[in-house]
Amino acid sequence: MLLDNNRTLNILRKAEVEGYGILAQTCYDANCVIGLVRAAERCRSPAIIQMFPITLAFGKGPWLRFCLDAAHQASVPIAVNLDHATDPEHIELALSLAEQGIAFDSIMVDASHAETDEENIALARPYVERAEKCGIAVEVELGRLEGGEAGLRMISDAKLTRPEKAREFMEGYDAASWVPVCMRAHLLNNLGRLSTGARILAPSIGNLHGAYLNPPNFRQDILKDLQDTFKGSIPLCLHGTDQLPDELFQECIKNGISKININSWGRDAYAKKLAEGLQTKPFPDAVEEAVQEFESLKDSSAFCIKTTQTDMSRNVVLITGAGGFLGSLLARALLSDELTPNVKLILVDVVEPKAPVGAEAITIKADLTDPTQAEGLFRTEFGTPDTVYCLHGIMSRGSEDHFDFGIKVNIDSVRTVLDATRHAGAQSGTLIKFIFTSSLAVYGGPLVSSISPGSDRGVLTAEQPPVITPDTIATPQSAYGMAKLVDEIFINEYTRRGFVDGRILRLPTIVVRAGAPSAATSSFMSGTSHLPCIIREPLRGEESVCPIGDSLDSPVLDTLAFWVASPETTIRNIVFAKHVPADKFLAHTRVVCLPGFTTTVKEEVAALEQVAGKEAIAKIHFEDDPTNRRIVSSWPARFDNSYALSLGFAEDQGGMVPIVQRFKEQLLAGEV
């Protein structure tokens, strides 16, 4: 049970089932780690960061913590492994750090120098038991590889793995075969199962550590026998792989290898590039060029990363709320996204949604408050999604008027889908992206960016910032905003713990949009409600109601401002969110306020008049609604776009007039 969610095992099991190899690259410093993570994220490939014991002994806990953070915060599954831990002092260091909460995902306890298999077991078994209590998977070597490097013991007498001994070595011996009856109970009490109990096996098949002086002669028959023996229960790791041809790797993968250890191939090129750069360039420039060299080598790892791309390019995307306005636009947009090739869509809503024309899609009617139905979304014929877009919910006015139902849908069902995502990712060995559409309704008045002492009574007062920044404290003044903020906290925590790769998008008010009726407080601006929109309906020649103010001359129309964006830009940004590298986000939060611009009701009406004339604005009638006005007045209208733009998100240009003009053209073309 302790290893059910082990990152290394999940990565390797998925690779074995789906027929690709995982690059396990030895990293000697932070630059190598950064280069490997960059390459893995760009190629959308899992990977394993490896370190030798000598590096752990030098950097100890802080170094291991850095590697774990880099791996576990990446947007693709990456694990951290200690390779060739032979000396007891190094194994003890790793396990003591684990007991302090700084734990490798996996460790290779290397007792292959032992004279017999039984001695190998006796040396490895106690460490395996301690490691598993800390949730660490252990790799062992059966047989012995010739050679040595980077502080490893030099071995001169190789010994091939015997497949007939492998199951006993890993999973348990028949004591009667070699132990006298009088000694069996004693040995069983001291050794537990007469096996290593390890979870990953490194076989000796003619491979060696260091350079090959002659063409390698790998015993593929041994791999085939091991594959038949374990049938996927024990992942196989290939050591001694530097400077080997891609075809050999492919053959090994076909015969059951899922983990491929690489050392000097990447290390030497990186070190050479760094040394050359330091002769003529400033230190930061030389380091960056060396990292890029290391990164480019990982990109060209045809035997593992490129074979993995075939799997990753499946791009299975789950969209909840797929029948709504944003969900339907998102599904269509993903079909044309160049960075999401061969996309397969799982479209879910309370009413079975329609799939876009030409899409490879599954459409599902589901109650997402039911955990069983939510978990079923991850067990379709498309397999485990690599991205979840969580768009469903009860809109602002609806959740205000029906509080309990709003909590059930806007909090409980989001948590249910989040947990289903977490469990599916753990079972498949993938870190699933979870993209959540939040709202500027998480803000309310007064907006707080800092707290300062108030009057002589010592009361704390809030200083209202002129614009919303990433540091502004969310203080919702509506049930809808409260629920969105609760969801954000859950997603940030699940991301911190490595359960999901969360991305939280606080959307501006979207103007102008078509779609099925909903209960959005801002619908008079945007258009999805039982209330008509002050842009859409007049453009159609229909009457519209504005719930703000008593007439077109009401002062509130000039002062009540909104933060808005067009549907096209919003959808473009929602799609783009899945492509942002994980390390680009702020370390403490995955929240991003999507770019928008500030407008007022009066400016929106003026844009309508400019595009469609006075006869259009004559269709607008005013019926002031205090509840509506209270809610929308609590929303901020000015944001600092710089953080979102630095991540690569887009913003509208030209204000309201181009948006209204574009919507008019879409109406005339019958597109909305």
Contact indicator for 113, 155 with CB cutoff of 8 Å? yes
At which residue do the structure tokens 């229909």 appear?
Answer: 542
Contact indicator for 500, 432 with CB cutoff of 8 Å? yes
Q: How many CB atoms lie within 10 A of CB 43?
A: 20
**Phi and psi for 616 in degrees, rounded to 5?**
-75, -45
Cα angle 176, 179, 183; round to 5: 115
Nearest one of 167, 240, 155 to 205, comparing CA atoms: 240
Distance CA 246, CA 237 (A): 16
Residues 6+ apart with CB under 8 A from 6: 105, 106, 135, 136, 137, 199
At which residue do the structure tokens 């014991």 appear?
Answer: 53
What does each C-alpha distance from 466 to 443, 483, 645 come to in angstroms? 13, 25, 19
Catalytic (active site) residue 480: yes
Per-position DSSP letters for 413-425, written without gaps between them: IHHHHHHHHHHHH
Q: How many CB atoms lie within 10 A of CB 213?
A: 6
What is the helix (H) or strand (E) element at residue 408, kind and residue range? none
Q: Which of 20, 28, 389, 480 is catalytic?
A: 480
Distance CA 373, CA 368 (A): 6
Q: DSSP alpha helices (H): ranges in 479-600?
A: 479-496, 523-526, 536-539, 556-559, 567-576
What does each C-alpha distance from 505 to 42, 105, 491, 570 come to in angstroms? 22, 31, 11, 10
Distance CA 271, CA 472 (A): 44
Contact indicator for 256, 228 with CB cutoff of 8 Å? no
Buried b (16+ CB within 10 A) or exposed e, 639-664: bbeebbeebebbbbeeebeebbeebb
Q: How many CB atoms lie within 10 A of CB 590?
A: 25
Dihedral sign, CA of 290, 291, 292, 297?
positive
Distance CA 289, CA 420 (A): 41
Distance CA 459, CA 437 (A): 36
CA count, 13 A, side-chain hemisphere, 379: 8
Residues in the chain: 672
At which residue do the structure tokens 């690059």 appear?
Answer: 23
Distance CA 262, CA 24 (A): 6
Contact indicator for 449, 469 with CB cutoff of 8 Å? yes
Question: Strand, coil or helix: what is 135?
Answer: coil
Residues catalogued as catalytic: 480
